[in-house]
Structure 1
Amino acid sequence: MSTLLLSLETSSPVCSVALHRVEDGSLVGQTELRLDKSHSTHLTILIEQLLENTGHSLKDLAAVAVSDGPGSYTGLRIGGAAVKGLCFALDIPLIAISTLQALAAQVAAVTARPEAHLYCPMLDARRMEVYAALYTHEGQEVLAPTPLLLDADTLAEQLSRYSVLFFGHGAAKCQPLLGEHPNAGFLTGIEPSAVAVGKLAIAAYHRQDFQDVAYYEPFYLKEVHTTTPKKLSS
Structure 2
Amino acid sequence: MSTLILSLETSSPVCSVALHRDGQLLGQSELRLEKSHSSHLSLLIQQLLDNTNSTLQNLSAVAVSDGPGSYTGLRIGAAAAKGLCYALDIPLIAVSTLQALAQQVAAFTPPAEDVLFCPMLDARRMEVYSALYTHEGQEVLAPAPLILDSETLAEQLAHHRLLFFGNGAAKFAPLLNTPHAGFLTAIEPSAIAVGTLAYQAFQRQDFRDVAYYEPFYLKEVHTTTPKARA
TM-score tier (shorter): over 0.9
**Could you give the per-residue CA deviations for residues 59-116 of structure 1, whole angstroms, max 9, x where no partner exists?**
1100000000000000000000000000000000000000000000110110123444
Could you say what secondary structure the match of 2:171 adopts? helix
Which residue in 2 is equivalent to 1:117? Answer: 115
Q: Distance in 1 between matches of 2:122 and 2:34?
A: 15
User: Which segments of 5 or more consecutive residues in structure 1 lack a partner in the other structure?
Assistant: none
- The alignment status of 1:225 with 2:222, answered yes or no, reads yes
What are the equivalent positions in structure 2 for 1:1-234 lying under 5 Å apart?
Answer: 3-22=3-22, 25-178=23-176, 180-233=177-230
Does the 8 A contact of 1:123 with 1:170 survive in 2? yes
Provide TM-score, normalisation by structure 2: 0.97
Q: Distance in 2 between matches of 1:34 and 1:60?
A: 28
Aligned-residue identity in percent = 76
Does the 8 A contact of 1:108 with 1:114 survive in 2? no
When the two chains are superposed, the root-mean-square deviation of aligned CA atoms in Å is 1.1
Q: Distance in 2 between matches of 1:2 and 1:39?
A: 29
Aligned residues: 230
Q: Distance in 2 between matches of 1:69 and 1:139?
A: 16
Amino acid at match of 1:54: T
User: Which segments of 5 or more consecutive residues in structure 2 lack a partner in the other structure?
Assistant: none
Q: Distance in 2 between matches of 1:220 and 1:229?
A: 23
Quote how far apart the aligned CAs of 1:8 are.
0.4
Does the 8 A contact of 1:2 with 1:59 survive in 2? no
Q: Distance in 2 between matches of 1:218 and 1:205?
A: 18
Amino acid at match of 2:77: G
Provide TM-score, normalisation by structure 1: 0.96
